[in-house]
Amino acid sequence: MEFETDLLADLIDRKHQCLAQLRDMGRRQCELLNEGSISGLLDVLSAKQEVIARLQSVQRQLDPFRDQDPESRHWRSPGRRQACAEQVQRCECLLAEILAQEKRSELELTRRRDEAANQLQGIHHAGQARGAYIASTAFPTHQLDLSCDQ
């Protein structure tokens, strides 16, 4: 006998798998940020996009269940219902962890961006000072008076 809730439980499991992958990728993303590995970071971000697309697909498939009254669903067993409810709770915890990771990554990226901007500004000022020094030595403002006054 086929139960609609079997599909629901399967979709919840798939959602959990996607979220676990995103959490693990987020950890790797943080490591790469700390290492300053831009190419590795771009690879992880690209792979995350694929997992996010899969998660969005699962979310769309879950849409018909959102309007249902959970109490009116027919489950294969009370144990299956409980397991699915626990998996939903684990999904919520993973999602909260992922959001915290993303916030930390965003703060680190902002810090590194500001640090790079400050370094570039320092290089720019040093270049300006060097240019001014070269200009002042190329065209000295002091002239030696070699005329003879008798």
Per-position pLDDT tens, the chain of length 150: 678 999 999 999 999 999 999 999 999 999 998 888 889 999 999 999 999 999 999 999 999 999 899 889 999 999 999 999 999 999 999 999 999 999 998 998 888 888 878 888 878 667 777 777 776 666 655 565 656 666
Kindly state whether residue 90 falls inside one of the protein's structural domains. yes
What residue type is assigned to position 141 of the chain? T
CA distance 119 to 125: 10
- pTM value is 0.76
Kindly state whether residue 140 falls inside one of the protein's structural domains. no
Q: Which CATH number belongs to the domain containing residue 87 in this structure? A: 1.20.58
Kindly state whether residue 114 falls inside one of the protein's structural domains. no
Residues of the domain holding 66: 4-109
CA distance 21 to 84: 19
C-alpha 41: how far from chain center: 9
Number of domains in the chain: 1
Kindly state whether residue 134 falls inside one of the protein's structural domains. no
What distances in angstroms separate CA 53 from CA 15, 28, 48, 56, 65, one per listed residue?
A: 11, 19, 9, 5, 20
What residue type is assigned to position 72 of the chain? S
Q: What radius of gyration do the chain's Cα atoms show?
A: 31
